[in-house]
Amino acid sequence: MSSGVQQKGGVPTLVLKEGSQRTTGADARRSNIMAAKVISEILSTSLGPRGGMDKMLIDAFGDVTITGDGAAILKEMEVQHPAAKLLIEVAKAQDAEVGDGTTTAVVLAGRLLELSEELLDENIHPTIIIDGYKKAMDYAIQVANEIAQPINAEDKNQLALVAMNSLSSKIVSEAKDYLAKIAVEASAIAVEKVGDKYNLDLDWIKLEKKKGQSLTETQLIQGIVLDKEVVHPGMPKRVVNAKIAVLDAPLEIEKPEWTTKISVSSPQQIKGGFLEEESNILKSYVDKLVEIGANVVITQKGIDEVAQHYLAKKGIMAIRRVKRSDIEKLAKATGAKIVTSIKDIKPEDLGTAGLVEERKVGEEKMVFVEQCPNPRAVTILLRGGAADRVLDEAERSMQDALHVIRDLYREPKIVPGGGAFEMEIARRIREWGRKLPGKEQLAVLKFAEALEHIPTILALTAGLDPVDAIAELRKRHDAGEFDAGVDVLSGKIANMTKINVVDPLLVKTHVIRSAVEAAIMILRIDDIVAAAQTRTGGAGKSKTEGGGEESESKTE
């Protein structure tokens, strides 16, 4: 409905610009909840290792992405509805914080909103529903900490089991054992212990991908792989016991910042003066590098052809125009210092590596800096398939596995997967909620019902009858079997801990928080004011940002 004009005494009062649309009360909530439900339904079929379906997403340029990763699906989708955008932002925050559980968070948020609609239809005020959801969330996190099992963060086998569980729902599930071990090994090298806490900075684990071979040819390089070639054919392609100069400075003559004019009386002045002087400066740079013992030079900037010639004559390998992020990883892996002035470089600034070698990987050449004595940064070289899309999905899957390992280093506690965690939390919340006074009890019970939606989807995608599966799970959990869940591979209800289907506690608690925050955010909105779309600059563009519709929301 439009509220741009209001009548008073027969005189129209214009409040909003012509063409603006205003939706209030129940209609606004219904619109927002419907949008959230649609996003939730899109992702629900991607949940679970067996029935987890992939989505094909085609953008405005015709580029295709095929993925089952919730974060990637939401990132590639171009949604219009403001409430749907809110849900996507929450999912992105979940992905940035813990790197996993985005699909579960969105599906749970959608279900919470769907069930809240039933309460709204019974004239229960949104504030009461919100209070009920908040109390249920706090109690759920309390119970989660009670049922979580501590693990040893230094036990690589336990870390690999959880990483495998993360990979089992991806396209790379066939090689999950191998990839999980590589992820754990890489993390063990990059992790740092500060006091009693572990800190894993994923910036120090580089993912490099190249088409060809299979996923099981993926390698862990204890050093850095550069997608570059040696700059001069006369340079060595293999250097053993490398002393590496890592530069953020050009091996070139810098051009003056201002325009200059020089008068010359003969061609010899150009050749014998300027060009020779340039050559001498570049030679002095190379002599300095030779003097301090460098036999490999890697720089973020350029290398002049004359400098390349002198470096090749001295038997020094050189790589140029390396990304800043790779330069930093190189320094971390080799123990080098990043030098910004060649004149000031000292022998102690050099990094060390057992081997620096140019190799052909697939159809392209790459430089491997490996066998570093104490690498704090490593590279995972992903291989697999002839299609870029398979390799892209493998990269996303490996990032998820690394995030899960990082979560375990942050908080070394695990909970049973396969819907067992959600069923146990739902059972405990239902028992606790029935004792609450007032209408908040209804919202708390709906929260428990929403949690049971996760094992319901898992049962459905595994080919089980969801009603029978939930009945069986309730029976087992009531009998005290808190780790009974859906074994999607065998299609039965089983003990999740015994079959090693476990998840990090941090991911699960963050899922609950993200889902509840998203649901509350959308439930609070009771008024949507959408400005009229302008015609200038193309259809669907607003005056402010040039895309989508400009809207304001009034909260209670």
Which residues form the catalytic set? 69, 102-103, 400
Give the span between the Cα atoms of 517 and 210, in whole angstroms. 40
Are the CB atoms for 56 and 72 separated by under 8 Å? no
The two tokens of residue 228 are 């570059």
Give the span between the Cα atoms of 70 and 61, in whole angstroms. 22
Q: Which helix (H) or strand (E) holds 383?
A: strand 378-383
Q: Which helix (H) or strand (E) holds 242?
A: strand 238-247
Give the span between the Cα atoms of 453 and 419, in whole angstroms. 9
Q: Residue 237: is it exposed, middle or buried by C-beta count within 10 angstroms (0-12/13-18/19+)?
A: middle
Closest by Cα among 14, 32, 13 to 23: 32
Give the span between the Cα atoms of 398 and 179, in whole angstroms. 7
Residues 6+ apart with CB under 8 A from 459: 419, 465, 466, 469, 470, 486
Give the span between the Cα atoms of 297 and 338, in whole angstroms. 11
Residues in the chain: 556
Give the span between the Cα atoms of 116 and 506, in whole angstroms. 26
- DSSP character at residue 378: E
Residues 6+ apart with CB under 8 A from 383: 209, 210, 211, 212, 213, 214, 215, 217, 218, 219
Residues 6+ apart with CB under 8 A from 176: 164, 167, 168, 170
